[in-house]
Structure 1
C-alpha cells in the first residue's frame, strides 16, 4: 500500500533557513502616444525594427548557436578528483570550473543527477566528480541511488569494513558495476571518518540481497524466510504458481518485520556504519511486503498482456514502481534525514518534472520526479545528462553507437559550444531570441538513439552534454 506524504513546514525550515528566491521575469515592451496637437494615434506610423520580423528556422538555429557560445559553461574535466595527502579533502582549486553551480543550488535541498543511458562511462565519472563537489563544497551529505532501499542500507552499514567493490555490488544495480563507478565508493569510504561523511541510501523497491541472518537470531524464522524467498523466485512469471505462494510469503515477511525493533542492538552491531539501520530495515521489509502483495502480480500480468499486444497493465506496473520510489525518497527526506541535503542518482526518465508530457517515450505515465510534492520541486534542481556521439551500452551490456543527431535538436544546439563538456542552466533564463529553443518543443535522444520531443525547460533545470562517450568497463 502506498503512502501519501507531504513535507511539513518544520522539516523545511530545519534544513533551509533564509531563502532568497530567484524569479525569471518576462520582458515587456510598449509604446505610448500622448502628444498635444496630435489628432489621434492613427496619425502615428511605427516601422517595425528588424529584430521584430519573423525569422526562418535556419536563422533561429543561428541565433541559438550564438547564444550557446555566449552563455553555456565548459567544464575543465569530468574525472573524479583525488584527495590531498594527509588532509582528507580535495583542494578547493580543483573545483574552480564548477563554482557557477553554487548560486544556482544555494536554496536547493535536493539535486537530481540524471543520465540518458545507464551505459556511458563518462556519465559515471562526471557524476562522481559532481558528487564530490556537492559534498565537500555545498554540504550535500546523502547520496540516494535508484537502487534497493534495503540493499543500499546494508552496504552503507558495512562500508568501512569491506572492499569498495563489495560495497558497490551489495548496494547498486549491476548496470553501474563499472570501473568508472569505483572511485565514487572509494570517496565515500574515505569520508566515513570525517565529521560530515557522505552516506548512501536507496529509494527503489526492486531487488533485495540483504541477509536477515546477519541480525535475526531466530534460526527457524531465518529458515522460513529463506524458503519463502526461494518459492517466490521459483514461481517466476507463472501467475498461478505465484498466487499460490504469495500469502505464505507475506506472513513470513511480516513476522520478520516484527522482529526488527526487538533486534535493534544486533542490527547496529551488524551494520555499524549506518546509524539509522533500524528504521531503514523496517521500511525495507515493509516495501517488500507491498511488492509481494501488489507489484509482482501486476508485473507478471503486464508481461502476459504484452505478448498479446496489450500494454496498459505493464504501464501500470511502471507507474507503481515510481510511486513507491517517490514515497521512499520523501520518507528518507522527512523521517531519516530531515536536516540533510540530498543528491539523487537516477535515469533522466525518473527525475524529470513532467515525464508524462514527453512525446515519443513509450512510458506515458507519471514517473517519480513528476510525483514529488510541490515543495520538493520548488527546492530541487534537476540536471539531465545527455551525449552527442560515441558508443553506449544497454542494460545488458550490449554496445551500440549513439545516433547522429538532427539539426535543431537539443544535442546539436549545445554542441555549438565546441567543448567536450557543456553545461547550461535552464531554470533562471529569461526568454530571448537566442534561447527560445528551451521554451518550445525540441528533439532530444533517450539512450542515445530514441528521439523524443519535449519542452526541456519544463523537464529539467539544467543540462550537461558530454560530447563523446564510451561504454563502461564492467566489473563482473
Structure 2
C-alpha cells in the first residue's frame, strides 16, 4: 500500500516542486525592474572621507538590541575591506559600546598578546596575535587604536576564537609568566609548546603520533595542575588584567582538546584515512571548535560585553548547510551552523563583497587573485552596482519581501574570494552586506 501511495504521489510532488520553482523564478524575473529602483533609494552610502562618521549613524537603528556584530569578508587579502572594517570597528566601540574584538585567529595567541600589549608596539602586538594575511598598515592602525584606547581607560579588548595557532606567540609570553614562579615548569611549557606546533607535521605513522600526543597531553595536564595549585603566585606575575588567569588556564586546556580531536583527525587524513561523515573532516571540525571557543568567549569570558567579530564570510554566515552551493560544493556545517540559537538571536551578521579589483591569496600572501569583473548577471555584486556609489551598506534583517527586495529572498550568486561562484538565499545567510566597488591587494608588512 505504501509503495502504491509513493508511486501515485511522487510524480505529482515532482510536478508541484517544479511548478513552485518556476513560479518563484518567474516572479523574480517580473520584479527585476523594481530592484534597481529600490537599491538606488535604500542602499546606505559609506563615505570613508567623512571624519564625522555621519554616514555610519544608521548603525544605531540597524543594530538595536544586538549584542554581537559579525564583520565578514569575501577575501582576507584586500586593503579596502580591512580599512572599511577598521573604520566601522572604531565607530562601534566609541558610539555603540562594543568593547571586545574577537578575531579569526588563535585564542591563546590573541589573548597572550593583548595581555602583553603594554610592553609591545602596536605592530608587534598585531604580528604576535593575528594571522599574517592581516599584517598590513590598515590593521596596524587598528592596533594603534587599541593601545590608545587601553591607555585612555576605555579598552577595546582583543581576543580570538580559532583553534589554529602560530608557533611562538603564546609560548614566549606564557613561558615568561610561569618562569617567575617555577623555572622548571616554564621549561616544560616551552618544550611542550614547541612539540605541539609540530605534532602532526613531524609524525610519520599513527603510532608515532599517538605516543607523542599522549606524552604532550600528560605535560599539559601537569601544567594545568601546577596552575591550579600555584594560582595566587601566578596571578601576581600575570599581567594585571581581570581575566588573565582564566585566559591562561583555558589556553592550556585548549591545547589538550585540539590534540584529542582536531589534530587526531588531521593525522588520520594525512595518512589518507578519511571519516564517513562530512562533519568529522578536520576542515569542518575547525568550524565546530571555533563556534565552541566563541561561545566560551561570549558566555564565560565576557558575558556582559558587546562583541565585534572579525572573520571570513564563509565562517560567519548564518548557516552554510542551507547554501544552494558553497565554494567547497559540499554545503558542510560552518561556525554559524554550530552556534547556539540564543547567541544567533543576539547577533547581526554582515557579509562584505566587491565588484571589481583583486586581492591576495592567503595560501602564500603573494599571489594576486583578480575579482571576476564584470560579475555574473543578477549576482549580488552586479545588482548593488545600481546604487552608483563606491561603497554601500544594505540591511536585510529589517527588510520585508516585496517587489523591490525579492532579490534577497530568491537564489542569488555571490563570489567567494571574488571569483568562485556560490549560490544562496541572501536573507538566510546575512543580516546585511557591505558592497565595495573596487578592492586592491593588501600590502603585507615585514
Shorter chain as denominator, the TM-score bin is: 0.7 to 0.9
Task: Please state if 1:65 is matched with 2:29.
Answer: no
Q: Work out the CA distance in 1 between the residues paired with 2:139 and 2:194.
A: 31
After TM superposition, give the deviation of residue 231 of structure 1 in Å: 3.8
- 1:207 aligned partner: 165
Tell me if the contact between 1:152 and 1:172 (Cα under 8 Å) persists in the aligned partners. yes
The aligned runs of 1:29-178 (5 Å cut-off) are 60-77=31-48, 94-178=52-136
Q: Work out the CA distance in 2 between the residues paired with 1:313 and 1:59.
A: 39
The aligned runs of 1:188-207 (5 Å cut-off) are 188-207=146-165
- 1:413 aligned partner: 383
Give the paired residue count.
410
The aligned runs of 1:405-444 (5 Å cut-off) are 405-444=375-414
SS at match of 2:351: strand
Cα pair distance change 1:298/1:134, threshold 3 Å: same
After TM superposition, give the deviation of residue 221 of structure 1 in Å: 2.9
Give unpaired runs (5+ residues) of structure 1.
Answer: 1-53, 82-92
- 2:316 aligned partner: 351
Cα pair distance change 1:76/1:311, threshold 3 Å: farther
Q: 2:435 aligns with which of 454, 460, 465?
A: 465
TM-score by length of 1: 0.81
C-alpha RMSD of the superposition: 2.4
- 2:189 aligned partner: 225
- 1:402 aligned partner: 371
SS at match of 1:453: strand
SS at match of 1:338: coil
After TM superposition, give the deviation of residue 158 of structure 1 in Å: 1.3
Give unpaired runs (5+ residues) of structure 2.
Answer: 1-24
Task: Please state if 1:367 is matched with 2:334.
Answer: yes
Q: Work out the CA distance in 2 between the residues paired with 1:104 and 1:204.
A: 28
Q: Work out the CA distance in 2 between the residues paired with 1:319 and 1:125.
A: 29
Deviates more, 1:234-243 or 1:324-333: 234-243
After TM superposition, give the deviation of residue 367 of structure 1 in Å: 1.3
- 1:305 aligned partner: 272
Runs of 4+ in structure 1 off by over 4 angstroms are 54-59, 262-271, 310-315
SS at match of 1:103: helix
After TM superposition, give the deviation of residue 369 of structure 1 in Å: 1.5
SS at match of 1:144: strand
Structure with greater helix share of residues: 2
Tell me if the contact between 1:158 and 1:271 (Cα under 8 Å) persists in the aligned partners. no
Q: Work out the CA distance in 2 between the residues paired with 1:271 and 1:170.
A: 18
Instruction: Specify the structure having the higher radius of gyration (Cα).
Output: 1
Task: Please state if 1:378 is matched with 2:355.
Answer: no
Q: Work out the CA distance in 1 between the residues paired with 2:249 and 2:68.
A: 24
Tell me if the contact between 1:305 and 1:313 (Cα under 8 Å) persists in the aligned partners. no
Cα pair distance change 1:265/1:361, threshold 3 Å: same
Q: Work out the CA distance in 2 between the residues paired with 1:213 and 1:469.
A: 41
SS at match of 1:318: helix
After TM superposition, give the deviation of residue 418 of structure 1 in Å: 1.0
Q: Work out the CA distance in 1 between the residues paired with 2:321 and 2:270.
A: 21
